[in-house]
A and B are shown apart, each in its own frame.
Chain A
Amino acid sequence: MTTAPPTSSAAHTDPTGMVTPASAGPGRRRPRTWSLLGDVRRKPTPYEIVTSRFHYHFRRQPAPFEMSPDTPLNLWYLKHREGSPLQVEDWEAFRDPDKLTYQSYVARQADSEVVIDGIVDQYEARDHDASLDPRWVAALAKIYVPSRFALHVMQMSALYLGQMAPSAFITNAAHFQAGDELRRIQWVAYRSKSLSLCHGGNLGESKPAREVWEQHVAWQPAREVLERLLVAYDWGESFVALNLAVKPALDLVLTDTLAEVAEANGDGLLAAIGRELSLDGSRSKRWSAALARFALEADPQVRPLLEGWVQRWSEPAARGAEALAGLLSDAPRPGPAAAEVATKVRDQHQALLAECGL
């Protein structure tokens, strides 16, 4: 498949992907790179070359964009980005631990899609869908099939975060995450259609799924927190709300717990797809924890701010997850009790916050 962008033969790549200079000894010429990166001592990595200082508009004077300073979009960015309470001196110093570029993102995801294609292929060859208990399929109609609406809100929210973030190192990670959500949605759609062909009913139609999302009582706490997430317009709050509260909580139910319960109900296919897709969720947690740690190290004074946002969003998110977990009790082999899932959400959330240094 693809290879990483070639690096200078005078340099070598260490196991973390960082390129170190062949020699930093006296008399050696400084590596030639973008002048805006300043007096660099090591050759920037390909990741840094294509990411550093791309947001020319951040903290630009007199306004982010080259038009009247008081146009709606200038005022929007001045309020929700430059005016956010979440500020550190240099957002350009943040790095995504996965160091993703577009090229490495699509290469990685292409490989992962091959994995899922292979899984689906194997199960389809065994006529897997016909082996599923109709009561399990009925449970999926309530929690799995409509989940694409919730995933779509998380896609939208990641795209907002991407367009508002103060550096391309953050923007790109958020935009790739939005791509991940689109991917998950498409596998939900694929499986929904597939189940409908074998089990009939209206699994392959939009209207019933939308009705569950809009009207089923178990979906409303999640839907409420997701709709409110859409209007969390401060860029910092949108990051904390999505990636440190709402997404980890809902992912735990909609991907991880669902995969466990699927396994117990003979749906190894859904379990295997879920396990592969949860790698995307893990990546989201990695860069999000790294960003929170970065901000705390850059300015310890942001701690109460981050903690306040976490507090504001984590309880509604956990309530949304708990209510959804209740839907799994309808499975022939029921999932863990909703309260148990809620505990797990809170435990995992604590673990994520510990990763964040919060």
Chain B
Amino acid sequence: MPKLARSQWYDLTRDMNWDLRYVSEEEAFPTDMSDARGVPAQEWWRWDEPYKISYGEYVHNQADKDASVYSVNSAIGRSHIFEDLDAGWRSAIVAHYGAIAVPEYVAGIGESRMARFGRAAAWRNMATYGTLDETRHGQIQAYFAHSLLDKEPRADWAHKALHTNEWGAIAARSLFDDMFTGNDAVSTALQLTFTFETGFTNLQFLGMAADALKVGDVDFGALISSIQTDEARHAQQGEPTLRILVANGQKQEAQRLIEHMFWRSWHVFALLTGLSMDYYTPLEQRNHSFKEFMNEWIVKQFMDQFRDFGMDLPWYWEEHFLSELDWYHHALHLGVWFWRPTVWWNPDAGVSPDERDWFEDKYPGWNDSFGRWWDVIGENARRGEIAQTLPETFPMVCNMCQIPVVTPAGYAAGYLSSTVPHVLDYNGRRYTFCSVPCKWIFESSPERFAGHTTIVDRLLGGEIQPPTVEGALRYMGLSPEECGDDATGYAWAHATRSAPSAAGVA
């Protein structure tokens, strides 16, 4: 091996900052793409990444990781493991691929934005690795999903979801375009890497990887745990960026950026991970609840992280965020299951008698709050009156998170004081929000969101024809075969409680 250790020469590759002479600073780092928040150029040169790696180390590590994960996929592809997986878990996988594979690929564009418009060479180098990482994540997840097509035609959504106007795809695009594809470099460092990748990807990638291994889905488990090792590295771009902003009097702006994206991430991941962990994962493998994962991976970690950087907890922490941990994803699950033809996966109701006991244990009061709606749905299902369990109208959709407004369910469950959504009149148009923080995000930068229309705005505006459920499904790109249906054919409605000792004996 070459004699010099990385530490002996590495700094020379970081210190490549210079004063521009032939073009101006604003020309080379325009505010639209870079937005240094007025922090002078040379202040950014102090940017210091906590994690260092050479190109040689990078390509060796990554080639080995890819070889290992692709060979698992190749071996699993020849087996019947996927067909034997629990139906609800398969739905979780299909939902994941649609919402995550292509967004991860375009996170590479967010990374290359930082790698071009970040204000320090050291940062640009780290983001160059990040660009490559995200190319990996988009490609490897697409490849795995593609290998499922013969067994699961809905794996096609791994590739096409973001090309459609399916409402969940709009919500994902809205989140990720706001977070990185359509964002400036400095905001991206705080919102993608500091806020999202240090917390929420852990939740989806490590939490779900643990579940995958318990369920027996070695393929998915190997895939996403390998991805997370990259995330853990390039996520560290946020910290030095935050330090420089805080040191230069921009703490308030940094706080706003983080609060904005934390809330948006929470809502989309309550939808994706919340439903997958608590309702779609088979009960036998459902050791931790989504709320417990949130407490462990997000609440504790963010509180530590905020304290370490001298930041304040988001203003909505207690009253809105911690409160929603008890009810928001349960309300979303009711809505997603009811409007199941509008999603590309088969929602698993996940409310058999044994599962309801689990909910009562993990979320005390669940049977009285959410269970009572499922009593009615289950009764209809048992009578074969499936039409009673399907939608004929549309919900309101939040003008910020693009997720249907579920405040009535939050109110009925006793967590909100009113069923009424939050509204704002701005420049002659009325906007509707599912929550106080969603409204606050809009009001903090209305120019970023005001010209956007939700899927319901489009319906009411005549863009979706005919304005019926069928017309909307066509607009969303869902063929009749692709529309979601109950994952287990309503088996949960007919299930009986297992004998008290059964679990122990098994």
List A residues at the B interface (Cβ < 8 Å).
1-3, 5-6, 32-36, 46, 49-51, 53-57, 64-76, 101-103, 105-107, 109-110, 113, 116-117, 120-121, 124, 148-149, 152, 155-157, 159-160, 162-163, 168, 171-172, 175-176, 178-179, 182-183, 185-186, 188-190, 192-194, 197, 204, 206, 209-210, 213-214, 223-224, 227-228, 230-231
CB nearest neighbor in B for A109: B59
Would A124 and B66 be within 8 Å (CB), given that A163-B109, A175-B108, A182-B55 are in contact? no
Task: Tell which of B21, B63, B160, B183 touches A35, judged by Cβ atoms closer than 8 Å.
Answer: B160
- Determine whether the beta carbon of B174 is less than 8 Å from that of A213: no
CB nearest neighbor in A for B62: A106
- Determine whether the beta carbon of A190 is less than 8 Å from that of B4: yes
- Determine whether the beta carbon of A186 is less than 8 Å from that of B55: yes
Is chain A's interface secondary structure helix, strand, loop, or mixed overall? Answer: helix
A-B contact pairs, 5 of them (CB 8 A): A34-B159, A102-B135, A102-B139, A186-B9, A223-B22
Cα-based distance from A67 to B399 in the complex (angstroms): 10
A-B contacts besides A1-B63, A117-B1, A189-B10, 6 pairs, CB < 8 Å: A33-B146, A50-B138, A110-B60, A110-B63, A113-B56, A197-B4
Interface with A: B195-203, B389-397, B446-454, which one?
A: B446-454
Cα-based distance from A186 to B27 in the complex (angstroms): 28
- Determine whether the beta carbon of B27 is less than 8 Å from that of A6: no
Would A156 and B136 be within 8 Å (CB), given that A71-B447, A117-B2 are in contact? no
A212 to chain B, nearest CB (A): 11
- Determine whether the beta carbon of B10 is less than 8 Å from that of A34: no
- Determine whether the beta carbon of A35 is less than 8 Å from that of B66: no
Cα-based distance from A171 to B115 in the complex (angstroms): 14
Task: Tell which of A5, A72, A102, A223 touches B132, judged by Cβ atoms closer than 8 Å.
Answer: A102
Contacts of A66 in B (CB 8 A): 170, 173-174, 177-178, 182, 402, 452
Cα-based distance from A265 to B100 in the complex (angstroms): 54
Interface with A: B121-129, B356-364, B414-422, which one?
A: B121-129
Task: Tell which of A74, A172, A188 touches B182, judged by Cβ atoms closer than 8 Å.
Answer: A74
Cα-based distance from A186 to B8 in the complex (angstroms): 12
CB nearest neighbor in B for A76: B32
- Determine whether the beta carbon of B23 is less than 8 Å from that of A32: no
A120 to chain B, nearest CB (A): 4
- Determine whether the beta carbon of B70 is less than 8 Å from that of A103: yes
**B241, CB-defined interface residue at 8 Å:** no
A246 to chain B, nearest CB (A): 13
**B163, CB-defined interface residue at 8 Å:** yes
Would A65 and B182 be within 8 Å (CB), given that A102-B135, A102-B139, A124-B3 are in contact? yes
- Determine whether the beta carbon of A2 is less than 8 Å from that of B63: yes
A-B contact count (CB 8 A): 262
- Determine whether the beta carbon of A54 is less than 8 Å from that of B146: no
- Determine whether the beta carbon of B33 is less than 8 Å from that of A152: no
Interface with A: B11-19, B208-216, B303-311, which one?
A: B11-19
**B143, CB-defined interface residue at 8 Å:** yes
- Determine whether the beta carbon of A156 is less than 8 Å from that of B135: no
- Determine whether the beta carbon of A178 is less than 8 Å from that of B13: no
Would A206 and B23 be within 8 Å (CB), given that A2-B67, A32-B149, A179-B132 are in contact? no
A77 to chain B, nearest CB (A): 8
- Determine whether the beta carbon of A69 is less than 8 Å from that of B451: yes
- Determine whether the beta carbon of B66 is less than 8 Å from that of A2: yes
Contact with A along B366-407 (1 / 0, CB 8 A): 000000000000000000000000000000000000100000
- Determine whether the beta carbon of A156 is less than 8 Å from that of B174: no
**B471, CB-defined interface residue at 8 Å:** no
Cα-based distance from A182 to B130 in the complex (angstroms): 13
- Determine whether the beta carbon of A178 is less than 8 Å from that of B9: no
Cα-based distance from A163 to B134 in the complex (angstroms): 13
**B105, CB-defined interface residue at 8 Å:** yes
Cα-based distance from A124 to B1 in the complex (angstroms): 10
Contacts of B62 in A (CB 8 A): 102, 106, 110
B6 to chain A, nearest CB (A): 9
Contacts of A204 in B (CB 8 A): 9, 12
- Determine whether the beta carbon of B66 is less than 8 Å from that of A107: yes
- Determine whether the beta carbon of A183 is less than 8 Å from that of B55: yes
Contacts of B450 in A (CB 8 A): 68
Those 8 A-B pairs whose CB atoms lie nearest each other, nearest first: A68-B451, A65-B182, A189-B12, A50-B139, A206-B15, A72-B32, A65-B177, A193-B9
Cα-based distance from A120 to B12 in the complex (angstroms): 19
Cα-based distance from A194 to B149 in the complex (angstroms): 52
A315 to chain B, nearest CB (A): 16
A80 to chain B, nearest CB (A): 10
Contacts of B66 in A (CB 8 A): 2, 102-103, 106-107
B123 to chain A, nearest CB (A): 11
Cα-based distance from A239 to B12 in the complex (angstroms): 28
Cα-based distance from A68 to B399 in the complex (angstroms): 11
Contacts of B138 in A (CB 8 A): 50, 54
**B28, CB-defined interface residue at 8 Å:** yes
Would A3 and B112 be within 8 Å (CB), given that A32-B149, A179-B132 are in contact? no
- Determine whether the beta carbon of B12 is less than 8 Å from that of A206: yes
Cα-based distance from A155 to B173 in the complex (angstroms): 28
- Determine whether the beta carbon of A192 is less than 8 Å from that of B12: yes
Contacts of B182 in A (CB 8 A): 64-67, 71, 73-74
Cα-based distance from A101 to B124 in the complex (angstroms): 22
**B466, CB-defined interface residue at 8 Å:** no
**B181, CB-defined interface residue at 8 Å:** yes
A172 to chain B, nearest CB (A): 6
- Determine whether the beta carbon of A124 is less than 8 Å from that of B173: no
B128 to chain A, nearest CB (A): 5
- Determine whether the beta carbon of A71 is less than 8 Å from that of B448: yes
Contacts of A50 in B (CB 8 A): 138-140, 142-143, 146
- Determine whether the beta carbon of A36 is less than 8 Å from that of B10: no
Contacts of A230 in B (CB 8 A): 23, 28
Cα-based distance from A47 to B132 in the complex (angstroms): 16
- Determine whether the beta carbon of B112 is less than 8 Å from that of A162: yes
A226 to chain B, nearest CB (A): 9
Cα-based distance from A32 to B132 in the complex (angstroms): 28
- Determine whether the beta carbon of A189 is less than 8 Å from that of B9: yes
Contacts of A176 in B (CB 8 A): 132
User: Which of B4, B13, B121, B178 has most chain A Cβ within 10 Å?
Assistant: B13
Contacts of A103 in B (CB 8 A): 63, 66, 70, 136, 139-140
Cα-based distance from A162 to B60 in the complex (angstroms): 23
Contacts of B74 in A (CB 8 A): 5-6
Contacts of A190 in B (CB 8 A): 2, 4, 9
- Determine whether the beta carbon of A149 is less than 8 Å from that of B16: yes
- Determine whether the beta carbon of A172 is less than 8 Å from that of B135: yes
- Determine whether the beta carbon of B70 is less than 8 Å from that of A5: yes
Contacts of A206 in B (CB 8 A): 11-12, 15-16
Contact with A along B51-80 (1 / 0, CB 8 A): 000111011101110110011011001000
